[in-house]
Structure 1
Amino acid sequence: EQFDKIDEQFDKIDEQFDKIDEQFDKIDEQFDKIDKQFDEVGKKFDQIDSRFDKVDSRLDKVDSRLDKVDSRLDKVDSRLDKVEKRLDKIEITIENDIKPDIKATLDGYKQLAEGQEEIKAQLIELSSRVDNQEVEITALRRAK
């Protein structure tokens, strides 16, 4: 779940970078327009000043967005640190608690299987003895 959230945040960051690129492209277009109109500086100085104000506003927005991206990346780093710590704890639990329990369970299973084999052998032997005794009983009954 956390990885999904992280992926979503990275997708949002990618979208924001795309928007920033678009804004930088727009800024580049405006600078091109400024270069073309530089010959008419006297007539259009107020327009250029207005455009610089817009560019400045956009750069402030870009700066604000970059600050947000930086903040989000800090949060992602923090979350990743927490995930690493949790994974370390899980790994330690598996190594120290679960693996020994599994080994003990398998040893117990092996002992049970060996015990069953011994019981089977004893049952076969008892069955053979019962059969022999039945034969002897039948022979004794006939002898009477």
Structure 2
Amino acid sequence: MPQDANDSSTDPLQPDSHLAREFVAAAGRLHKTVYSRFDAEAKAKGLSFSRAKLLALVSRCPGRTQASLAREMEVEAPSLKRLVDGLEEQGYVYRCAADGDKRANGIFLTEKSQSEVGDLLNFADRIASEVLKGFAPEELTRAINVMNAVSDRMTK
């Protein structure tokens, strides 16, 4: 269990700690590498990283509202609207009035996008399998827990 972020007496990762700097640098490199690989795959399909990410979110939960998707993607509503507009123009998604709220739009995948999304998700799975091969489930669980705890601390 992570220690209290405010308890510096028991936290070996002080702000000036070499380990803390190395962790942040490694997390940044990992993010950049994953982003670059996924972005290249998305571009090969005529999509931006953001559009591909939005397609993946919609595929996991069809009918989510634009407001919900904007929160999940951590973008403002107008930015999300532009992403949806672009995907709609490309024939990947369509809007439909959300159940119970005719002012809100649910976003759904078109038939055309089903195979594209499947290819993108398979690509993401292949990358994960390649780079995580050889790590024990316990190691991955610990790494996930540490990353989540760090993320939680940064958002407080």
Scaled by the length of structure 2, the TM-score of the pair is 0.28
Q: Give the structure with the larger helix fraction.
A: 1
Say which structure, 1 or 2, has more relative contact order (CA 8 Å, 6+ apart).
1
Q: Give the structure with the larger strand fraction.
A: 2
